[in-house]
Amino acid sequence: MPFRYLLFYKPYGVLTQFTDNDNPEHKRQTLADYIPVPDVYPVGRLDRDSEGLLLLTNHGQLQHRLSDPKFQHPRTYWVQVERVPDVGSIESLQTGVIVQGYKTQPAKVRLLPSEPVLPPRDPPIRDRANIPTAWLEMTLIEGKNRQIRHMTASVGFPTLRLVRVSIGHLRLDTLSLGEWRDLTTSEQAVLLDKANRKAQEK
């Protein structure tokens, strides 16, 4: 069976799995509602209440390499937070914060100058007129459970909306919301080359 490598723009509320056996009375959307390709599996996860880029493949070794934290595969997110973070808070996120007894690894974090262009979220975030919001761009090389939400909360700026915009060299802006596609030949080549080089370094 040939290897497949897919990109998917996951909407809010969609589970990062193909079945939902945990909630039989209230069916939730899964990847099967969008992707009619058999035997592919997500590389890493996006929480149900997060949006954005998801990579799927039937290449088990690649899936392991990209999911294992020791390979330090960068992922970039746009993060809408409550209130406007100050310089000190951003520096704390960059150098590492304590999350559930664990200090996060250094991350690239910057305050975006304006709200990024994204499809409206359904449902929209809670709008509180007297509390401003801001958008951060955060690039992490690890992906612990709900890590970004824990990180921003730890410095006093709760996450309101979370969108993954890139996985390594792969970008969200090549897709529309709910759309999937195969990687191009050149995208596959770069992905496999980077994964192989990372494996040789370990």
Ordered structural domains, the chain, with CATH: 1-70+169-202 (3.30.70.580), 74-167 (3.30.70.1560)
Could you tell me the pLDDT band of residue 118, with boundaries at 50, 70 and 90?
A: very high
How many CB atoms sit inside 10 A of residue 139's CB?
14
Instruction: Provide the percentage of residues in the chain whose pLDDT is more than 90.
Output: 71
Six-digit token pair at 173? 């802006």
| pLDDT tens readout for residues 2-22 | 899 999 999 999 999 999 887
pTM: 0.93
Amino acid 172 reads L
Could you tell me the pLDDT band of residue 199, with boundaries at 50, 70 and 90?
A: low
The catalytic residue positions are 47
Six-digit token pair at 181? 């596609």
Q: Which has the higher per-residue pLDDT, 84 or 60?
A: 84
Query: What angle do the packed helices 185-201 and 60-67 form, to 10 degrees?
Result: 60
3-class SS at 116? coil
Q: Rounded to 5 degrees, what are φ and ψ at 64?
A: -65, -45
State the Cα–Cα distance between residues 40 and 59, nearest whole angstrom.
8
| pLDDT tens readout for residues 133-173 | 999 999 998 878 899 999 999 999 999 999 999 999 999 99
Of 25-34, 64-73, 105-114, 121-130, the one with minimum mean pLDDT is 64-73
Could you tell me the pLDDT band of residue 176, with boundaries at 50, 70 and 90?
A: very high
Are residues 106 and 151 in contact, defined by beta-carbon separation less than 8 angstroms? no
